[in-house]
Amino acid sequence: MNSFLKRRFFDQIAVMFGRESRKPTAIAPQAQTIHLYKRGNRDLIAEKLHARAHALHTHKWRNRRWATLLFVNLFFTVSFWLDIQILEGALTASRFIGFHLIDLNSALQVMLAHKHIIVNLVIGTGTVLVLWLLLGGRTFCSWVCPYHLLAEWAESIHLWLVKKKLVTDQAIDRRLRTGSWLVFATLAVATGYTVFESISPTGIVSRALIYGPGLALLWVLALLVFEVFFSRRAWCRYACPIGLTYGVVGIFSPVRIKYTLEGCFHEGDCRKVCLVPHVLDTVIKGRAVDTQIPIGPDCTRCGLCVDTCPTGSLKFEVKGLSKLL
Site for other proteins, rule CB under 8 A: 80, 85, 88-95, 100, 102-103, 106-107, 110, 113-114, 116, 118, 120-121, 124, 166-168, 170-173, 175-176, 179-180, 183-184, 187, 191-199, 203-204, 207, 210-211, 214-216, 218-219, 222, 225-226, 228-231, 234, 238-239
For the bound state, the minimum distance from the C-beta of residue 74 to other proteins, rounded and expressed in Å, comes to 15
Question: Could you tell me which residues come within 8 angstroms of residue 250 by beta carbon, excluding any fewer than 6 positions away?
Answer: 132, 133, 136, 137, 138, 139, 256, 297, 299
Q: Nearer Cβ to other proteins, position 106 or 282? A: 106
For the bound state, the minimum distance from the C-beta of residue 69 to other proteins, rounded and expressed in Å, comes to 19
Q: Nearer Cβ to other proteins, position 118 or 324? A: 118
Q: Nearer Cβ to other proteins, position 92 or 253? A: 92
For the bound state, the minimum distance from the C-beta of residue 3 to other proteins, rounded and expressed in Å, comes to 24
For the bound state, the minimum distance from the C-beta of residue 146 to other proteins, rounded and expressed in Å, comes to 14
For the bound state, the minimum distance from the C-beta of residue 6 to other proteins, rounded and expressed in Å, comes to 25
For the bound state, the minimum distance from the C-beta of residue 20 to other proteins, rounded and expressed in Å, comes to 11
Residue 2 near residue 282, CB atoms below 8 Å:
no
Q: Nearer Cβ to other proteins, position 29 or 212? A: 212
Q: Nearer Cβ to other proteins, position 82 or 325? A: 82
For the bound state, the minimum distance from the C-beta of residue 123 to other proteins, rounded and expressed in Å, comes to 9
Q: Nearer Cβ to other proteins, position 119 or 324? A: 119
Q: Nearer Cβ to other proteins, position 5 or 161? A: 161
